[in-house]
Every structure is written in C-alpha cells, then in structure tokens.
Amino acid sequence: MYFPSWLSQLYKGLSRPIRRTTQPIWGSLYRSLVQSSQRTNPEFNSFAVRTNTCGELRSSHLGQEVTLCGWIQYRRQNTFLVLRDFHGLVQVVIPQDESAASVKKILCEAPVESVVRVSGTVTSRPAGQENPKMPTGKIEIKVKTAELLNACKKLPFEIKDFMKKTEALRLQYRYLDLRSFQMQYNLRLRSQMVMKMREYLCNLHGFVDIETPTLFKRTPGGAKEFLVPSREPGKFYSLPQSPQQFKQLLMVGGLDRYFQVARCYRDEGSRPDRQPEFTQIDIEMSFVDQTGIQSLIEGLLQYSWPNDKDPVVVPFPTVTFTEALATYGTDKPDTRFGMKIIDISDVFRNTEIGFLQDALSKPHGTVKAICIPEGAKYLKRKDIESIRKFAADHFNQEILPVFLNANRNWNSPVANFIMESQRLELIRLMDTQEEDVVLLTAGEHSKAKKFQSSSSKLNVPRLSFPYNSKLKKAIYFQILL
C-alpha cells in the first residue's frame, strides 16, 4: 500500500520505542505549557487595527499617537464625546477648526452607540477639568482622523448600567444587554475561571481534556432526554444528560485522569438548581479515594477563584450524612443560616403541655426545635399562624411558637406551663438571645425532623430586609419543593 512521504515519516516517528521518546516529548510539552501559563498580561491589541483600548491610556502615554475603536457613550455640546469599549472609557476632543470639518461632521452627526474609529494624540486635560472618577480622567484624545464604522439606529433602551430594564426586554435584545458592564464582567470572569481550571487540571495535575460526543443513544434513568431526529424514519439521537458512560470508557481505556467542560441537556422544567441546558466541569479519576477527590475539588476552586472575591479557605467544612439529617433534616443543607434542629426531648420529660406529653409517651416520640434569630422583629402573629396552618395541612404537625421579648420574658400560649428550670435549659441548648423566636414541634422522630428541615428554610430574619407576604409565599413554595 502506498503512503505519502510525509505520512510515512510521521508513522516512523510515532512507531519508535516509547522508552526512548516519552521523557523528551513530555518534558518539552510541559515546559511549553508552563511558559504559556506564565504570560499573565494579555495583549488586547494584537491583530487589530487599534493601537490601544479605551481604558488603558494614562498620563504615561502623553504625546503618543493612538488609534481607538469603540462605541460613542455620550456627546457633550459637540465638543467632547466619550468613547467606550470593553476595557473602559476615554474622553475624545472633537476638533473645531475648519481644516477638520469632515472629522467634526462624522463625530457630531453619528448617533450615540455608533461604532467609530478615531486617531489622535494623547494630551493632558486642562487644569481643573480632570475627572478622578475615571481611570483615564487625567488625559484626553485630540482627534485628527475619524471613521464611522457602523451607525446606530434608535435603541429600545439606553446602554447605561443605571437604567432599569425588565428582564424580558433584556432577553429580547440580548445583543444590546451584552454591552452592559455587568454582562461583560460575568462573561469574562467565566472565561478566566475556566482557563484557570484547565491550567490547574492539565498543567499541574496531568489531566487530559477530552471532548465526548453530543449525539448519543438513549440512556434510561434520571431526567427525560432531548431527542434529535435522524435521517432514518423513526430513529432518533439523544442529547446526553452527562458524559457518564463516555468517561467510564475512558477509564477502562487507560486515560486515568479525564475532564471536560461538558454541555449537558435534561428535558425537565426549570428549577432553582436545574435548567434544560447547563455546563459542568466533568471529572473522572482512577485509583483514587474519597479524600483524594475532595482535595482535588478544594484545590481546583481555590486556584480558579477570582482575585477580587474573598479567598476560598480550605479544607472545606464537612458533615456526615447522618449528622446532616440529624442537624438539618436534609442531605443538602444550607449551612449559611444556622437554625439547626435541636433535640430537646429531655427538657420536657416532665412537662404538663398536652401534645408534648402525648408525643414523648410514644416509642419513637421526640421534641425538636429551631431558633429563628431576631424573629420577633419580623414575624407577626399572622405569620406564625400561617406557619402553624402550613404544618398542620402538610405535615399533620402542631407547632408551638415561643417569643423571647427584650426583657427575657416568654410570650407563648403555653408559657405558664414551662417551668423555670426548663426555660434555663432550653435557653442553654438553643443559645437563644433577645428577640429570637423558637419553634417547637413534637411527634414521631421522622415526622418532626421532616417538618423542622422545611421550617429551617425560614431564614428571613437573618436577611437585611423585613419579612413580607410575597417573600413568605416564596419561602413556602421552596419548602413544598
């Protein structure tokens, strides 16, 4: 069989003994990867007709001839305009002399949000006209030439961050919404985090980034799948819910450290933690234990975390499955809000309160409680009654509220039946403070725990805004989920 000369040479190179070539090849590859990862200052103007971005010019650039491209942010008195790109803003001086009439005509007649290219000299702003709120506030550009690249028509909303826009309008004109500072920041931040994740996994820990197929066969189990018609009648492809089978094949095939930024598809209704289409960092390893996986993920997040955010502290706090169910009543607790479930059965062994007596007399009877910090400030009587009705309708449970007033007095329907020793012990166990609200429930262990796990989501008093009916409905909806 005939092979082209270049293919024959390639085959000979690849067919050499592995022991002779493995070390030099991997050593060279590793050095090139490390060198590329050490380039921390990206060149934003390479391959472009501009010489600088709008946001990078400073006093150190005085006297330089520059070419800028961007959107007209706004114009003032046909004398100045502010040019914007993804990097920032810069003030441009419109020439007023007759020799530059064509330049003035372009810059004065171009609608706001038009795209222009200007060339000119970086000069200092006149004394007293500096703008300390702008990074480029000490300089301005005296334009010599200008070109209108794309004129803007009337827009449905102004491209200004302080302008309030409905979400529906933003989604309808997504290409305009993408120009906002927040959207630019979000997308660039995501890109930076994904790149740092690749650096951490590939360069530092020897993972291989492998792209798996998108069109696959149906895999029963889990969520419903999206179907893609094929050319053959009655036959379809399925979009994968996750690359589970592919990465298992890779492990069997000897690629013991795999990852990819995987696109996943699930044909189900949107929920706070689910949507039909999403991206995940998909990782699979061989010859590893639970501790190794935990350390890998902790290091990955710490390495890729944005520099302008609070640093990630490792190791992450951990809790066992049994502890999570006992303390929060769920295997995925939100620990930010506290409000742990406390077993106070021993406090009320000799109580005179009827429904507590009935519950504790049963073999698996228990009394559970959660403390809502500063709940007395926000929860009104009607709110407590709504919670009690909710518990009765959905869990067949009775709720006993206890309010702690500023003078440490207890305000409760059964306050007179709680002995002083029980009060002191309850305060110690629950670590209650003034203005707190304690919710007690009693019954069989599983039922009491189930309601308390739902009630623990009532984290409103820990937030910075008052409790209200709309928020209450949203919380109840979350509990029902």
Nearest of 244, 229, 324, 321 to residue 280 by alpha carbon: 244
The residues near 279 (Cβ < 8 Å, ≥ 6 apart) are 261, 262, 263, 264
Rounded distance between C-alpha atoms, residue 19 and residue 10, angstroms: 18
* pLDDT for the residue numbered 453: 53
Q: In whole angstroms, what is the distance from residue 435 CA to residue 197 CA? A: 45
Confidence tier at 143 by pLDDT (50, 70, 90): very high
Tell me how far apart the alpha carbons of residues 360 and 445 are, in angstroms, rounded to a whole number.
10
The answer, yes or no, to whether residue 13 has pLDDT greater than 80, is: no
For 86-128, how does the pLDDT look when each residue is reduced to its tens digit (9 = 90+)? 999 999 999 999 899 999 999 999 999 999 999 999 999 999 9
pTM: 0.74
State how far the Cα of 170 lies from the Cα of 158, in Å rounded to an integer: 11
Is there a contact between 456 and 329 (Cβ–Cβ < 8 Å)? yes
CA distance 149 to 70: 9
Structure tokens at 295: 């350390």
**What's the N-to-C CA distance of the chain in angstroms?**
65
pLDDT of residue 102: 95
Residue 18: pLDDT band with limits 50, 70, 90 = very low
Torsion sign (Cα): 198, 199, 200, 204 = positive
Q: How many Å apart are CA 428 and CA 424, to the nearest integer?
A: 6
Q: CA dist 192 to 54, 196, 248, 299, 312, Å? A: 21, 6, 29, 16, 16
pLDDT on residue 87: 92
Which secondary structure element, helix H or strand E, spans residue 366, and what is its range?
A: strand 365-372
Q: Tens of pLDDT along 241-282? A: 889 999 999 999 999 999 999 999 998 877 777 788 999 999
Residue 150 has pLDDT above 70, yes or no: yes
- 403: helix, strand or coil: strand
Q: 355 pLDDT band (50/70/90 cuts)?
A: confident
pLDDT score of 460: 37
Residue keyed to tokens 């003035």? 104
Q: Are 151 and 110 in contact (CB under 8 A)?
A: yes
DSSP structure string for 428-449 = HHHT--TT-EEEEEEEEHHHHH
Greater confidence, 78 or 467?
A: 78
pLDDT of 448 strictly over 80? no
The per-residue pLDDT for 423 is 79
Cα(313)–Cα(335) distance, integer angstroms:
16
pLDDT at 205: 97
For residue 438, report the phi and psi dihedrals to the nearest 5 degrees. Answer: -110, 130
Asked if 200 and 257 count as a contact pair (C-beta separation under 8 A), the reply is no
pLDDT at position 299, please?
97
pLDDT at residue 15 in the model: 47
pLDDT exceeds cutoff 70 at 287? yes
Indicate the burial class of 480 (C-beta count within 10 angstroms; 0-12, 13-18, 19 or more). Answer: exposed
Q: Which residues pair with 140 in a beta bridge?
A: 123
The predicted-structure confidence for 187-239, as pLDDT tens digits, reads as follows: 999 999 999 999 999 999 999 999 999 999 988 777 889 999 999 999 999 99
Angle of helix 445-455 relative to helix 321-328, nearest 10 degrees? 80
- The mean pLDDT of 177-187, rounded to a whole number, is 93
Q: What pLDDT is recorded for position 75?
A: 95
pLDDT of residue 114: 97
Q: Flag whether pLDDT at 456 surpasses 60.
A: no
- Reported for 346-349, long-range contacts at CB under 8 A and 24+ positions apart, including other chains, are 347/422, 347/425, 347/426, 347/429, 348/422
CA nearest to 137, candidates 55, 53, 66, 80 = 55
Output phi, psi for 121, to 5 deg.
-115, 140
Q: In what order do the strands lie in the sheet with 410-411?
A: 342-343, 365-372, 437-444, 399-404, 410-411
Question: pLDDT tens digits for 383-425?
Answer: 888 888 888 887 777 777 877 765 555 666 666 667 778 878 8
Quick one: tokens of 313?
């502290």
| C-alpha atoms less than 13 angstroms from C-alpha of 125 in its C-beta half-sphere | 18
Instruction: Check residue 413 and give its pLDDT.
Output: 64
